[in-house]
Amino acid sequence: MNCLFRNVTELTLIIDYKWPIGSIEHLSTMLNLSNLRKLYLYFENEGEFATSFDMEMDTLLKRAWSLCSIQINCNGSKTIEFFTLNSICLKLPDHIRRLDTDITDVSDAIMIFEQAEHLSYVRFYTGDTRNTADEINRWLSQMERDIACK
């Protein structure tokens, strides 16, 4: 494949109102997605991308097989947090080792921990940081996993 930018290892996608179907396919003509190591997703606002988002993220995660880190900023939107949880966080391939993401509550964190045991680093952002951190620590201690929390 003859891409314009073959050596890109970090990519920031700013998602505004729409995410057209075929966006990742088009992006792959410009970038060699298999070289990506870090992906940053910033959602500017709630838009009409629900129908294509899941499919586009599946395509991206399959093509970016060197990807090891994903950072997601939902800009305070609970709707976007729901979409990113279901379309990205609960479908992370084994080669993803780091995840930084917004969560709505502790149940989101628990689902991520249960679905993505291969992660070596996770950072959650939430509005209720103190209580959420305490609840996550309690859950982790009950699971008796070898995990360090900060």
> pLDDT tens-digit profile of 6-64?
899 999 998 886 777 888 999 999 999 999 999 999 988 776 666 678 888 899 999 99
pLDDT the model gives residue 145: 64
What's the farthest any 2 CA atoms get from each other in the chain? Answer: 51
Cα gap 123→114, rounded to integer Å: 15
Mean pLDDT of 62-86: 90
Question: Going by C-beta distance under 8 Å and a sequence separation of 6 or more, which residues neighbour residue 107?
Answer: none
pTM: 0.86
> Is pLDDT at 150 greater than 60 in this prediction?
no
CA distances for 97 relative to 70, 102, 135, angstroms = 9, 17, 23
Secondary structure element (H or E) that encloses residue 66, with its range: none
Other CB atoms closer than 10 Å to residue 140's CB: what's the count?
A: 17
Q: How confident is the model over 92-107, as a mean pLDDT?
A: 92
